[in-house]
């Protein structure tokens, strides 16, 4: 079959929406508003058009690679890069080398590409193109209310909650009176940029948390409400955590909550992380969430998660990278700082506000 590969044009977004409905018939999120947010409102989207490359056959889209453009720290440098999130071809167009050609086309514009949570078929394509496997981002879990997790109310749910009481009373309060202050503040502004400049010194490879990017991801995303916890040390922002509560199950209690992002000052890192984790757990317990989960690749943060009773799940989303510019830095997993905000998990969470 004849097919051509090209970058999507802005006026072709409705055509892409029709393709996505065919490719993902059970996914209802591909509305015009969501497509506009996803592909056009990201502050890193360039004038050339949406960060999407498509396969067309007889003027119809039959495959795509959709990306999220980011600014990436690589050692002492900052470079433009993309996360590859959506990579799919209609079944009748597979096995023709079109997937490879799509990824190669993206690489012409972005010499550095990264991806998380890919399936077996995508892994084979990336491997054949010389991408570097970097293991996975590590997933951590802490059970809180068994009744909420099982989505059961009434007597059964109450019994399960009682059974899981030891999982909650083991939580030790964090006390740093006078030095640190926790605020539930949803303001996203240049104060976060100042924090990032300090925090990022400790990591060799990380996606820049610039406040405009955080606004796009956590304040503007359609159908979702994220909540921010900030920690201040004597009036100076020293860290933040972003939480996402799934839509309530039995009696409106969320079956699961997630720490979507967590950034901490390199100074007094253990104390700052402990304060943020304690506040996140307290919020999850107050709302009777079934469990609290997070994804992370960062040794210091992972140590504190274990201290707070989180246990690591063995199955973790795969992580791969390709770079013709900074491979020496980016091909070492120990150099990376990643959270759930860097994976497609945060983007593809089910909406928690609006219609059920």
Looking at residue 333, the DSSP 8-state letter turns out to be G
Average pLDDT of the residues in 237-255: 90
Indicate if the pLDDT at residue 169 is higher than 80: no
Q: How far is CA 136 from CA 84, 238, 260, 295, in A?
A: 15, 28, 16, 10
- Judged on CB neighbours under 10 Å (0-12, 13-18, 19+), 201 is exposed
Q: How far is CA 155 from CA 16, 250, 280, in A?
A: 48, 12, 28
Distance between CA atoms of residues 200 and 218, nearest Å: 20
Q: What band does 146 get if pLDDT is binned at 50, 70 and 90?
A: confident
Six-digit token pair at 6?
């090209």
Positions of CATH 3.40.630.30 in the chain: 4-110, 138-315
Distance between CA atoms of residues 62 and 249, nearest Å: 37
Q: Which residue, among 116, 102, 119, has the nearest Cα to 54 in the 3D structure?
A: 102
Q: How far is CA 35 from CA 114, 152, 211, 321, in A?
A: 21, 35, 21, 26
Residue 141 phi, psi (nearest 5): -145, 140
Distance between CA atoms of residues 4 and 199, nearest Å: 44
In this prediction, residue 339 carries a pLDDT of 96
Helix (H, G, I), strand (E, B) or coil at 210: coil
Average pLDDT of the residues in 146-174: 66
Indicate if the pLDDT at residue 199 is higher than 70: yes
Indicate if the pLDDT at residue 84 is higher than 60: yes
pLDDT in tens, 17-40: 999 999 998 888 889 999 999 999
User: pTM, whole model, 2 decimals?
Assistant: 0.92
In this prediction, residue 280 carries a pLDDT of 96
Strand segments, DSSP code E, in 90-150 are 112-116, 132-136, 138-143
In this prediction, residue 154 carries a pLDDT of 62
Under CATH, what is the fold of the domain 4-110? Aminopeptidase (3.40.630)
Q: What band does 10 get if pLDDT is binned at 50, 70 and 90?
A: very high
pLDDT in tens, 324-355: 999 999 999 999 999 999 977 778 888 998 76
Q: What's the CATH number for 138-315?
A: 3.40.630.30
Q: Which residue, among 282, 279, 298, has the nearest Cα to 342 in the 3D structure?
A: 298
Element (H or E) spanning 190, and its range?
Answer: helix 190-199
Indicate if the pLDDT at residue 183 is higher than 60: yes
> Regarding predicted confidence, which is higher, 117 or 231?
231
Q: What band does 58 get if pLDDT is binned at 50, 70 and 90?
A: confident
Indicate if the pLDDT at residue 273 is higher than 80: yes
Indicate if the pLDDT at residue 117 is higher than 90: no
Average pLDDT of the residues in 169-191: 77
As a whole number of Å, the CA-based R_g of the chain is 21
Beta bridge partners of 232: 181, 237
Looking at residue 2, the DSSP 8-state letter turns out to be -
């Amino acid at each position: 079959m004849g097919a051509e590969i090209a970058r999507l044009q802005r006026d072709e977004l409705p055509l892409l929406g029709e393709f996505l409905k065919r490719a993902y018939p059970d996914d209802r999120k591909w509305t015009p508003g969501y497509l506009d947010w996803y592909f056009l409102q990201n502050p890193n989207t360039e004038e050339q058009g949406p960060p999407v490359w498509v396969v067309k056959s007889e003027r119809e889209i039959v495959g795509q690679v959709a990306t999220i453009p980011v600014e990436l720290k690589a050692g002492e440098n900052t470079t433009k890069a993309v996360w590859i999130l959506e990579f799919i071809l209609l079944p009748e167009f597979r096995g023709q080398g079109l997937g490879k050609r799509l990824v190669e086309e993206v690489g012409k514009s972005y010499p550095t590409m990264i991806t998380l949570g890919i399936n077996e078929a995508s892994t084979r394509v990336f491997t054949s193109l010389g991408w570097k496997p970097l293991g996975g981002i590590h997933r951590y879990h802490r059970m809180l209310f068994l009744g909420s997790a099982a989505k059961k109310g009434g007597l059964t749910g109450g019994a399960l909650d009682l059974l899981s009481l030891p999982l909650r009373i083991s939580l030790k309060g964090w006390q740093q009176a006078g030095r640190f202050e926790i605020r539930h503040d949803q303001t996203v502004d240049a104060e976060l940029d100042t924090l990032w400049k300090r925090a990022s010194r400790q990591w060799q490879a990380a996606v820049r948390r610039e406040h405009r990017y955080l606004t796009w991801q956590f304040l503007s995303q359609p159908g979702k409400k994220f909540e921010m916890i900030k920690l201040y040390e004597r009036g100076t922002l020293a860290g933040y955590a972003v939480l996402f509560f799934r839509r309530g199950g039995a009696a409106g209690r969320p079956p699961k909550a997630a720490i979507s992002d967590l950034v901490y000052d390199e100074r007094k890192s253990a104390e700052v992380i402990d304060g943020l984790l304690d506040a996140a757990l307290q919020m999850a317990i107050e709302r009777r969430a079934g469990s609290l989960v997070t994804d992370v690749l960062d040794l210091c943060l992972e140590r504190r998660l274990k201290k707070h009773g989180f246990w690591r799940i063995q199955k973790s989303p795969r992580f791969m990278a390709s770079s013709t510019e900074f491979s020496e830095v980016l091909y070492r997993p120990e150099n990376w700082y990643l959270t759930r905000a860097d994976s497609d998990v945060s983007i593809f969470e089910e909406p928690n506000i609006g219609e059920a």
